[in-house]
Amino acid sequence: MNTSMVIGYGSVILLLVAIGIVLERRSKSASSMSDYATGGRSFGPWYSAMAFVNTWLPGTVFISFAGLTAASGVIGFYMVLYSLFGAVLMYLLARPVSIWGHSFDLRTQADLMGLRYNSSTVRVTAAVIGFLASLPWVVLGMQSLALVFEYLSFGAVDPIGALVVGTVVIAIRQIWTVRYGARGVVIGDMVQGIVAYLFGGLLLLGLIVWMLATGFNLSGIPSTFFAIPGLGSDLGPLYFFSLILAGALGGWCWPDIFVRLFTSKSERTIQRASLRAAPILLIFGLTLMMFALLASQFPGVSEKPDHVFFIVASAGGVITLTLAGLAVISATFGNVGANLQALGTIAANDIAPRTVEAGRRSPRLAQTIVAALTLLCALATVLTVNITGGLVNLAMMSYEGIVQLAPALFLGIFWRRGTALAATASMIGGLLAAILFYLSNPISITWLGGLVPGVAGLMVNTLIYIALTVFKPNSRAEQQRIDQLFESVRLRTEAIQVPNKTEGVTS
């Protein structure tokens, strides 16, 4: 083991220890399933903002998104645009979701949909889609750490060994996710977010200044890198727009993202969190993309664009590369941990037979499932090391699939007329349509103007939802129940006279 490897791997151990100390001091064991799933709905705006960012931006932003920009140019900036739209959606969702969450003890996205449509079928359908769509991303998140630990070994560990090390490290991090549930995720996100997006962002800024000072500037980048697909493009004029739309809507369909709304103290907390998250997403996103754009000229990047962050950081020496690795690891900890906690909660709260009421009352079942999923995903990560390409395709297909929750979810929250039949049929119909579109045109559907498969499926999905709602509306009794739900939001809004100025975290 060389000295550089000791610094690289030793820093990761120190990061794990720091996270563990913070969690042991700030967290407590959940007293109920609701407490495990939502952290007691106790978190203030800064915790809520960082939890959202650390879940929204996985470690792969430093790898795949930066690699996209390094290989193809400004098209990669769509990540910044859809992230800002995601923050806007967070603000808009805050009031109804928070009010219903507190009033009806909602713990998951599927929980909310089951309440809105008064249907266990809608609940289970949404839960199963979210569960299956999320699993490939957990495995890919674990696999992405192999690249980090390969670089941090400074040549001492081969790719297979690095994969094993990364999988073990992230599995250790999940000990606190299993023990503390949402608290183990949200409090950890504060530490991980600071390392990933504050220190990581400062590192990116420093590398940008260094590249500019050494002759890497925008004038040396090919003009094709500044082109966005539009009229006359082979991808179609709607391709770029559909990437942004799928990213913004699809982001809030992921179970691990949506549950952030239930961990906050109130609707005002969520709104304030969105206002804090937006500048973080904007500044960090622009910094990362500008770094990747400039670094596209760096030697070796064109051959391995996904390695761009590590290739450039390596030029700065051991400390710079170690800091880059810690940023990616911290971002990955947040996203994988949030996914596993959300999946365990979904399985116990929504998918397990409703007759097993213990699954609703006690966190033990969710803890067991999170622990089992961690081990299974770790095993899958090692076993699929040679079929990463197939996993990537499955993960991309799952993204096209998860966005099919959008009409039932968003129209259900903002429109009173949607029915349970429309919600179920639209989710299933949209999912099947998206899969068919993906299998025939995985990148863009040129005869639809360049729409990505998920957005094309979304068109089918929305038509099904609206048509069934119009032609087979709710019964009078059901519509009255839904009206009362929406009325509760209006009454709560009118009752808020003085803003709550004591928002913090009581964990």
Q: What pLDDT, on the 0 to 100 scale, is given for residue 31?
A: 83
Amino acid at 501: K
Residue 438 domain-assigned (yes or no): no
Query: Which two tokens mark 425?
Result: 């049929």
Nearest to 34 by CA among 106, 83, 103: 106
Q: What pLDDT, on the 0 to 100 scale, is given for residue 387?
A: 59
Residue 373 domain-assigned (yes or no): yes
pLDDT greater than 90 at residue 388: no
Q: Is 258 helix (H, G, I), strand (E, B) or coil?
A: helix
CATH number, position 149? 1.20.1730.10
Residue 491 domain-assigned (yes or no): no
Full-model pTM: 0.91
Q: What pLDDT, on the 0 to 100 scale, is given for residue 381?
A: 84
Residue 43: strand pairing partners: 264
| Residue ranges making up the domain that contains 330 | 3-387
Query: Which two tokens mark 132?
Result: 């299956």
Neighbours of 212 (CB within 10 A): 12
Average pLDDT of the residues in 378-400: 71
Percentage of the chain modeled with pLDDT above 70: 93
Report CA dihedral (315, 319, 323, 326) to the nearest 10 degrees: 120
Query: Which two tokens mark 83?
Result: 């992230």
Neighbours of 219 (CB within 10 A): 5
pLDDT greater than 60 at residue 357: no
Residue 330 domain-assigned (yes or no): yes
Q: What pLDDT, on the 0 to 100 scale, is given for residue 26?
A: 86
Percentage of the chain modeled with pLDDT above 90: 73
- Name the domain count of the chain: 1
Amino acid at 64: S
Instruction: Show the DSSP H helices in 105-158 as ranges.
Output: 109-117, 120-152
Quote the mean pLDDT of the chain: 90
Residue 358 domain-assigned (yes or no): yes
pLDDT greater than 80 at residue 41: yes
Query: Which two tokens mark 405?
Result: 């929750």
Nearest to 143 by CA among 42, 60, 19: 60
Read off the pLDDT of residues 439-484 as tens digits, 9 standing for 90 and up: 888 888 989 999 999 999 999 999 999 999 999 999 999 999 999 9
Q: Is 499 helix (H, G, I), strand (E, B) or coil?
A: coil
Q: What pLDDT, on the 0 to 100 scale, is given for residue 482?
A: 96
Q: Is 43 helix (H, G, I), strand (E, B) or coil?
A: strand
Amino acid at 298: F
Q: What pLDDT, on the 0 to 100 scale, is given for residue 29?
A: 83
Residue 398 domain-assigned (yes or no): no
- Residue-wise DSSP of 378-394: HHHHHHTGGGHHHHHHH
Half-sphere exposure in the Cβ direction for 273 (13 Å, CA): 34
Residue 307 domain-assigned (yes or no): yes
Read off the pLDDT of residues 412-444 as tens digits, 9 standing for 90 and up: 999 999 999 999 999 999 999 999 998 888 888
Residue 263 domain-assigned (yes or no): yes
For 174-211, b where at least 16 C-beta lie within 10 A, e where not — what string?
A: bebbbbbbbbbbbbbbbbbbebbbeebbebbeebbeeb
Write out the E strands in 261-389.
none
Place of tokens 């990933």: 196
Query: Which two tokens mark 44?
Result: 């203030």
Q: What pLDDT, on the 0 to 100 scale, is given for residue 141?
A: 85
8 A C-beta contact, residue 138 and residue 340: yes
Residue 264: strand pairing partners: 43
Question: Can you count the helices (H) and strands (E) in the chain?
Answer: 24, 0
Half-sphere exposure in the Cβ direction for 369 (13 Å, CA): 25
